[in-house]
């Protein structure tokens, strides 16, 4: 498995009061014919799959739609604010950001593929560090949301948050180009079987120092360069 495609789940509910969602989805399909769209769910969510550049174009299209709605609300002189809801983008790449600043401090949000995020934490931890910023990650299955918040409210702190965001983006893009993943299922799901596999990959680890092992209840994932992943997996299977 190579990290070549992005699967995103978009929440369209924010547009419900202004558009017929089915019509908006049809417009999105015409705008982005290279993308594959799943069915529109009752809660307004829709799954979209395709290359990251194509998804980025779709994102910009939806952001323009959202900004136009914000302009309409201001022109109508509404005294209250609508609840702010963001598009939830589940990505295997990095160029995502929070389009609305809800707090005085500068805040940036990236949505990364969980395997890439874990690999970055293990082998490129400095990419997830920055001066005068707080970086945290919340993992939900295949995606991890990374929040970058400035530690202060000055312009310099905001610049540090943006700099940290770009560093993570750059690292993620480079890892996306070189990483490969293979899943090895446990032949048995007993504790003894899992322990044998763990002992095996611990013995192999010195020979494959840049391979990341992510264990689960029924399998474990091997993440690294194609050469390392193939070599490691073949030795485990033998």
Residue linked to tokens 């699967």? 7
Per the model's pLDDT, the better-predicted residue between 27 and 140 turns out to be: 27
Residue pLDDT, tens place only, 128-180: 988 788 888 888 877 788 888 887 666 676 788 888 888 998 898 888 888 99
Q: Say what the pTM is.
A: 0.58
Round to whole Å and give the CA distance between 151 and 142.
Answer: 29
Round to whole Å and give the CA distance between 111 and 191.
Answer: 34
Round to whole Å and give the CA distance between 212 and 181.
Answer: 9
Q: Is the model's pLDDT at 102 over the cut of 60?
A: no
Q: Is the model's pLDDT at 81 over the cut of 50?
A: no
Sign of CA dihedral 98, 99, 103, 106: positive
Q: Is the model's pLDDT at 34 over the cut of 50?
A: yes
Residue pLDDT, tens place only, 199-217: 988 999 999 999 999 988 8
Percent of the chain's residues with pLDDT above 70: 79
Q: What is the mean pLDDT of the chain?
A: 77
- Out of 15-24, 114-123, 193-202, give the one with best mean pLDDT: 114-123
pLDDT, residue 91, reads 38
């Amino acid at each position: 498995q190579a990290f070549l495609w992005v699967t995103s789940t978009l929440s369209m509910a924010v547009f419900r009061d202004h558009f017929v969602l089915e019509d908006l989805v049809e417009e999105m399909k015409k705008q982005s014919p290279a993308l594959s769209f799943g069915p529109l769910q009752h809660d307004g969510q829709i799954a979209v799959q395709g290359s990251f550049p194509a998804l980025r174009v779709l994102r910009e299209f939806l952001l323009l739609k959202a900004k136009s709605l914000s302009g309409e609300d201001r022109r109508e002189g509404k005294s209250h604010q609508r609840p702010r809801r963001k598009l939830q983008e589940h990505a295997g790449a990095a160029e995502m950001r929070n389009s609305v600043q809800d707090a005085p401090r500068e805040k940036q949000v990236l949505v990364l593929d969980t395997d890439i995020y874990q690999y970055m934490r293990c082998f490129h931890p400095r990419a997830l560090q920055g001066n005068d910023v707080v970086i945290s990650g919340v993992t939900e299955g295949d995606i991890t949301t990374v929040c970058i918040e400035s530690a202060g409210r000055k312009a310099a702190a905001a610049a540090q948050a943006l700099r940290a965001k770009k560093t993570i983006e750059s690292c993620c893009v480079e890892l996306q180009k070189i990483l490969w993943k293979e899943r090895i299922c446990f032949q048995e799901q007993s504790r003894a079987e899992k322990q044998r596999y763990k002992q095996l990959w611990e013995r192999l680890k010195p020979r494959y120092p840049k391979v990341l092992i992510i264990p689960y209840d029924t399998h474990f994932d091997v993440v690294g360069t194609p050469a390392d992943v193939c070599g490691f997996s073949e030795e485990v299977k033998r």
